[in-house]
A and B are shown apart, each in its own frame.
Chain A
Amino acid sequence: MATDDILTLEDVVGGYGKQTILNGLSFGVRRGAITTVIGPNGAGKSTAFKAVFGILAVKAGRILFDGQEITNRPPRQLIADGICYVPQGRNIFSELSVAHNLELGAAAAPPDFPLKQRMEAAMDRFPVLRKKAGQQASTLSGGEQKMLEIARGLMLDPKLMLIDEPSIGLSPILVGELFDLLRDMRSRGITVLMIEQNAKRALENSDYGVVLELGRTRIQDRAEKILADPRIAQLFLGGGLEPAPA
């Protein structure tokens, strides 16, 4: 893969119990870019993220981050290395306050971490989190919860964010704001690797795309090329590539 890849998967095999989901998955993620992973439901997209983040055992193959092998490294260490992971669905701790959720983003921080300053900075960037800092996190709306999850992921200044279907359940306007936020992160040098069902809209906001099918990479290319590829429309008939509501 290109030398300017921050993350590389090489022939990764893994799954749940005896069931293999990733069948020798390989792709690279370009540093400083937004890359979107698309593919039919059950293709193994989320499973691939879990394998990268050390939540799912990799049985064969290797994963490299920033030139270092990180295969099967535990999450706590990967966070220290500069990776953060925002899983699919709801990931806040509903019983804790908004501020305390944010604070947990620094759970793996070194002892001399300037927690107060970083919390302040995060709340400056996401004013709604300051406004609702003392509230129980379950009182946030869906969009605010996603903001909180992203803000929490950014607490330790990651180099790479893995984000799994962030737009699910958000209104079109909020999806727009979300992609703006991801592009803003890119402009600050953070590499974004996301999974999206809304393939068209996501690819329009990305630099690169990866198409997964049956646990393998089917296509990897620049996002606009993938958008123009007739095979993709084929693959997604009735799937994620329906024309987006204008």
Chain B
Amino acid sequence: MMVSKKTLAVAAMALSVVFLLVAPFLFKPYGVFILSTWVVMTIAAIGLNLTLGYAGQVSLAQAAFVGIGSYITAYLTTRGWPFWSTYMLAGTSCFIVGWLLGYPALRVQHHYLAFVTLAFNTLVYLIFRNEEWLTRGIYGIMNIPRPEVLGWSMAKPIPFYYFLLAHLALISAATWALIQSPWGRAFIAVRENPIRALSLGVDTRRYTLMAFALGAGLGGISGSLYAALVQFIDPTPFALGLSLNLLLMVIVGGSGYFFGPFLGAVVAVLLPEWLRFAQGYYLMGYAALVMLLMIFCPTGLLGFADRLLTPKAKSDSGPNPVLPDSAAPQKAAG
């Protein structure tokens, strides 16, 4: 049964990869644009899944990091800096700011932490909107160029889509390696029981800060790519709404599951597009769907799938049909 679960996961992944590779030939340019947006948002959600899903730290500030990354790339590439330098700068700046934002998390948790990060997001948004000398405020920054790779222009939608896809592949591989390393285990230990982790000598402080920093760094990278994708940015997309949306992606997909953000971003980015035929009602339908999903599978889509596919053979290990004390997902190998 474990094998078939793994086989299923591998098959689903292989199909998804094939789909993503041939997709540009199946869709009109608008479809390619939406898929590109999915890639960018998935990267930001992978970051938030590290912070929230693996390390258990609530953050409502992910949009702020996407915004900071976007503005760094927008501001600098329109002044002649090469894309790659702005990309690195976006990632490292957000990593540092995320590290600093982690300090409150050492003192407060849960809804208090949510409010601290929410306030941070609002602050950053106000800077984008009001500091016109730096960000051009509501006029935004136009004509953001797309990069070249080894002399090949990524300006056209399809090459740029593959460019983004390559990023997603690399970032996924790096994140996977991190999660499978002792670091990933330490994150999970800190989330499951911080006091217990502390009693074993886990440096909970360092891992908490690192969870914020890594999540923010991926937010910044996602923002840098976003700027090059849309080629025009203003403050609007980086308001609290996007932070909530990214949170939704992580939770709907399955918080703490590696593929949760991928699936969550499908729900948050692609589903609204598919529901557009319903015109004025599509947002209502979408909201209703998300509510139903959360009522019937609070551990997200992957948590739900995990439950369906895991044989209920636990009873042979004793008379305690235990579930973990929290609603945290039970993960099998991989």
Contacts and interface: CB of A to CB of B under 8 A. Distances in A.
Interface string A76-88: 1001100001010
Contacts of A94: 192, 324
Given A94-B324, A95-B192, A141-B318, A107 B333 contact: no
Q: How large is the interface on B (under 10, 10 to 19, 20 to 34, 35 or more residues)?
A: 20 to 34
Contacts of A61: none
Nearest to B186: A107
A141 to B, nearest CB: 6
A46 B302 CA distance: 40
Interface in B279-299: none
Contact of B196 (A80, A93, A100, A136): A93
Contact of B333 (A104, A108, A134): A134
A107 B196 contact: no
A87 B199 contact: yes
B188 A107 contact: no
A104 to B, nearest CB: 5
A107 B186 CA distance: 8
Given A76-B198, A91-B199, 10 more contacts: A53-B199, A75-B201, A93-B189, A95-B324, A96-B188, A96-B189, A104-B197, A104-B200, A139-B317, A152-B200
A154 B174 CA distance: 33
The 8 closest A-B pairs by CB, nearest first: A108-B201, A79-B201, A107-B202, A76-B201, A107-B201, A100-B185, A94-B324, A107-B200
A95 B317 contact: no
Given A79-B201, A85-B199, A141 B324 contact: no
27 contacts: A75-B198, A75-B201, A76-B203, A79-B201, A87-B196, A87-B199, A91-B196, A93-B188, A93-B189, A93-B193, A93-B196, A93-B197, A94-B324, A95-B188, A95-B330, A96-B189, A96-B192, A103-B182, A104-B185, A104-B186, A104-B197, A104-B200, A104-B202, A107-B200, A108-B200, A136-B330, A139-B317
Contacts of B127: none
Contacts of B202: 76, 104, 107-108
Contact of B324 (A80, A105, A107, A138): A138
A88 to B, nearest CB: 12
A152 B317 CA distance: 22
Interface string B167-191: 0000000000000001001101100
